[in-house]
Amino acid sequence: MGDDPAGARNHGTPATPGATGTAASAQAMSPPRLLDRVRQAIRARHYSPRTEKAYVGWIRRYIFFHGKRHPDQMGAPEVTRFLSALATRSKVSASTQNQAFSALLFLYRDVLGRQLTGLKETVRAKPSVRVPLVLARDEVSAILRHLHGVEWLMASVMYGAGLRLLECCHLRVKDLDFTKREITVRDGKGRKDRVTVLPSALAEPLRLHLEKTSRQHRSDVSAGAGSVALPDALARKYPRAAWDWGWQWVFPATRLYRDPATGHWRRHHLHETVLQRAFAVAVRVAQVAKPATCHTLRHSFATDLLERGYDIRTIQELLGHSDVSTTMIYTHALNRGGRASRAPSIPANESSAAPVENGTVRGCPGLPSPGPLVANIPLHRSGFSAYTGQVTKVLSRP
């Protein structure tokens, strides 16, 4: 019979009574690993979880690029070679290279306590100025027509209020004001709050959705669950707030999970990939020949307001941009400059016309005629006027 190597090792070295405790204390006294220090520094500055994931990923790639050398043994020359390789070999975009540079700058400045100098020789990717992808109103209507249930409501809210995907997922019941027709975006990009419009066309669908969600919440509470995660240390300040209706997610997940820290059964918000997958299918089925994503709805919201005559400062407030130059990129929708000239009129050819009969195009039985928009999602009758630095909501009654 063969001997067990693991057993031989265990029996060959007799354990002393204090060996286990000594090893545990030594492990506790050992300094944290580098990536753990990076995570601690990021969380101490209240950076978002996505920033933490991206920074840790870039630092790990930087270490593996140089053969697993410790960053404290490297400096500006190694950073320059890594960033140059991203631009020349990997052909990354300028924004991707800038993100990698920010991660390494954070590593050396805020974790290792060193200043990086002499990075002028770094090959930088050439920044590109791109026009954002925008959907026309009939294209948005065609896509929404192929969305149903919660996915339709979330996409409609994104289009009607100009929300980002995660801003829509993170909405809580208390953030919806049906009286003022406002949506308060909490802790958005850059940890900034803002107020945007709640479309009139979505008021009733949202009420019905919240009634269903409220019944589900009461059922969860009756079963011993029904709590949600609260931001920062709010759970210690208000211990029962996690079960309050106002703090519940507007778009909750379909399943419960057990919080490992508290042991409470909770319901997270609907994962963003649910809407992303449904939207991708809707774009394909609607035969929209554009690489549209959920974020395209936000671009379409901005350009739609510009075309309807809203000033750029109002749109900046609704989108939550810190700099108006970021909002100015949407002015391409106004067709100013050389594109403002009208194309010569082309006379219609009666023989090539495709009249509509019985709701379909003649000669194409399977092609339905263009119908009206599914819903007038944006609340275009709602205006925002700036006065003494305040944004005042002016609702005009129809």
Distance CA 309, CA 306 (A): 5
Catalytic residue among 61, 209, 295, 381: 295
Q: Is 227 helix (H, G, I), strand (E, B) or coil?
A: strand
- Note if 295 is an active site residue: yes
- Note if 69 is an active site residue: no
Catalytic residue among 66, 189, 209, 332: 189
- Note if 321 is an active site residue: yes
Catalytic residue among 146, 266, 299, 321: 321
- Note if 164 is an active site residue: yes
Catalytic residue among 181, 217, 298, 299: 298
Is the Cα torsion angle 88, 93, 99, 105 positive or negative in sign? Answer: positive
Catalytic residue among 164, 170, 267, 269: 164
| Residue 368 backbone phi and psi in degrees, to 5 | -70, 155
From residue 239, alpha-carbon distances to 171, 186, 235, 267, 370 in Å are: 21, 20, 5, 17, 54
**Matching residue, tokens 């404290």:** 72
Is the CB of residue 49 less than 8 Å from the CB of residue 39?
Answer: no
Render the burial of 162-182: b for 16+ CB within 10 Å, e for the rest.
Answer: bbbbebbbbbbbebbeeeebb
Distance CA 99, CA 227 (A): 36
Known catalytic residues are: 164, 189, 295, 298, 321, 330
